[in-house]
Structure 1
Amino acid sequence: MDLGAYTERARTGPCFICVFLSGHPGHAHHLVADDGEHAAFLDRWPTVPGKVLVAPKHHVEHVVRNLDDAAYVRLMLFVRRVALAMEEVCRPERTYIYSLGSQQGNAHVHWHIAGLPSGTPYKRRQFHALMAEHGVIKASSKDMNALAERLRQALTDQP
């Protein structure tokens, strides 16, 4: 991962979520789930195994003021379902769920679902585990496809 290029693209390029959801080939991600209102997809540069992003399918920039109560609850229930699937597949010690981005880059509201692997040393937990500056997992497209399929199956198996 070229962190400088990523930052430049996030700040000056088109919305990566909208472009991905439109099917643009240069912005492909591995789709995990789509309920018609929200999409979940694998992070291209995960810092922990099974890291998933969840976003509303329409462009929303403020998670609090741009969503009414019902839309917020639907989004968070979708995030929870995806997080439960990630936990089933990856068996993390702890699951981090957080929203990042700003009006200066990655403005489309999205949630990160990141499972902390068991045995992670204490000083490499929390923010350290989530920062690309500390390295990203290099996985083949075949491995990412297989992971996305396992996550889709775990979602299907939920009651």
Structure 2
Amino acid sequence: MYLGSFLFMRALKHGDKRFDKVKKIPGKFLIYWLIQGVWIALTALPVYLTNSIPAKIHPAIGVRDIIGLAIWGTGFTFEVVANYQKQQWRKEIGVNYKRSFISHGLCPIFVTFLITRVSGIPLLERENDRRLKDVVAYWKYKKETSMFVPTWPRTVE
């Protein structure tokens, strides 16, 4: 829900350059659309399966459930903080540039694959590398900041 809202608001404000070219090519756009549909279906599948079990036979919440919620909460917190930090960075440094955005095991792997190899990081990094190629602060930020896993800030020498 958060990610969908975040992406929707960003698309309303700035559009989404990742889809500008493919929107004009129906076959290619269909492939993008279908991949996103599979992504949503796989991500939501555990919820659908859980909700299909009658409430009276649901097991009680256990330790694994609490651990899963804690992991989810931590990840969600990192996502919110990362989006906030990126927005702040864009407001402070990128002002002069046009701005362009625990389940059954398979879902997290699939989502990670899509974000790190298909639609998220590679597309946005290529665009930012091209668009901000002369902005020293961007390259410093990119070098000092972990791409995906939160870490302590690195110092550049």
Per the normalisation by structure 2, the TM-score is: 0.26
Answer with 1 or 2: which has the greater Rg. 2
Which structure dedicates a bigger proportion of its chain to strand?
A: 1
Per the normalisation by structure 1, the TM-score is: 0.26
